[in-house]
Amino acid sequence: MELIKQTLILLLLASATTALIYLIVVFVRLKTLLENLNKTTVEINSKLPSILENIEKASEQLADVASRAQSQFEMVQNLSDSIQSYFQRFKSVFSLDNSSKLEGLPPTLTKIFALVKAIRAVIAKLKT
């Protein structure tokens, strides 16, 4: 019986020693992992201000580009509206409707269109 007790104590001691060695290995690996994590964190923290600065610059440039694009779009829209308006007035000058208005056109175009209307009126009277 004494031999069984001693054997069990030796087995328990061997198991405890093995567990202790295993824990030492785990803690050594954990220490290495934490050291590497610390190095990585320090490196990221050192580069973070420049990264944030670059993001801020990119955001400002994007806002500037968007503003310019909006301005260009509005200019094209206004130009398109003007061209459409001139086209409608030009079309009305050559229509059979004598009540078309020439207001809002540049003075030179107004004179040309008035002349065209007068010629059309004369031609229309000569036909009748």
Please report the DSSP string for 18-81 in residue order.
HHHHHHHHHHHHHHHHHHHHHHHHHHHHHHHHHHHHHHHHHHHHHHHHHHHHHHHHHHHHHHHH
- Is residue 2 pLDDT above 70, yes or no? yes
Query: Would the pTM of this model clear 0.95, i.e. be above it?
Result: no
Rg of the chain, C-alpha, whole Å: 45
pLDDT tens, position by position, 61-89: 999 999 999 999 999 999 999 888 878 77
pLDDT at 80: 92
pLDDT tens, position by position, 31-62: 999 999 999 999 999 999 999 999 999 999 99
Amino acid (one-letter) located at 27: F
pLDDT at 116: 80
**What does the DSSP assignment read for 92-106?**
HHTSS-TT---TTS-
